[in-house]
Structure 1
């Protein structure tokens, strides 16, 4: 039995695993090889590693883990449950792994609008986080695809990166008088009508087509998806997704150190913090690993005390 199995090998999972391996814990990372940010051209905001490829970042993290004696398995967890004084997880190939503790870092799924041409451009010129990709679309014509009342906030946010921002009303509620005033004051035009298609030419976004047939030319499109924690196969633990307090989707709730409501199970990264960027996910993985290690130390010490008095 290992000390810890980490489910998910992205930024949070690998950071947690490296921290645990450096603490001389036996740790195994199980990852299915489908990182959420794989479509992105680069990861930004990581001090000293600006613009690194998302996949290259994981390659480096895996090498660091191996250097400290940690292990990695490629596979997908299809079941997990408590067993005696630990946990057993079952992979999609039918094999099992056992551990005293679990760190869940499975990330999230972006629930995107079902529009032709949108998903293909996701992570390139269709995006949602200005701090991740705003610099790359600075001074470009940006369209904000409105699917909820949060779209006004998003339009005002992206206005920091470009003075040519259009709010595409699409299926969102009409802006309130106060919001309309704010948009007008910042020079953000509101285009009414449902968007039916995202247009691209030669691999680059060129605009959107409305139900009326009109085309709104844009070179970047931003949309706020609904975020849903990836918890497939973990129901046997009692770990379930609950609505996020900000109304942006569903997450696995945890405390500030990553402890979930399930004893012995910690959660880190986007599975619990839906808005976390890569640097935040890394920090959360490290923080959860430290708390998890302290929990193991307490258990080890309690056992040692019992042995001392035998």
Structure 2
């Protein structure tokens, strides 16, 4: 006996095909399943309430594995990733926010399969972006988060494009927060390298604009050379007053009597005697020395600098 449902399908096959022909005119679907779902959620939110257009403003980071990372290909968040990558990602963006005096948090909201797709919802100073959307503060809330996230994306892009150390130093070595962000980025790059992972990030920010950034093996290799620490030596001079003399061949020079001094060593006994006279007189001197420290190509050092005396003269 023939199934009546099957008979109906066969009978209406041509008509059903005509009704579905319009599907061929649609643009092909791109992106992962998680990204497609996110776009659908954004579109539904805009249709439901135009005042929350663009919600959710989401940062998505995909970690794709090589053959050595089979759990990653199944969408599994391994213990190593949970320990060495996720917190570092969150810290990298947090430090970027501090550049603008913004306390930025990334709240992990979901993990999807296929590759490890981490979805973060940015939060500034503990505010609820969904609630703020209702009172018209969404742009104010997200503009600072947008700046911080784009800053990290920009750094990643410069690494991937192998920008010169000078370019990166000019852009990202302006203050201590940025230097800390670079050090945190180094930890992320090292973990990605060790766990054989590629890094793809997507930021759907204010006004619904999508921004992409990728770090491949090329970028990781370049980052490794940038962050390699090497001994450096530079000749420098400073003017100030001597605020302390150590008979073991050291002096402390500061710009003011109450300022934090720079300890310079390597003075001979005769030079120490001369330094004592400048100290007692309160004379302003110009001292020249060699600064030695271990640092990478971005000018970020490890440990304390060592200053070795070369000469000193009274400043006229």
Structures share fold, TM-score greater than 0.5: no
Q: Which has the higher helix share?
A: 2
TM-score normalised by the chain length of structure 1:
0.19
Q: Which has the higher contact order (CA 8 A, sep 6+)?
A: 1
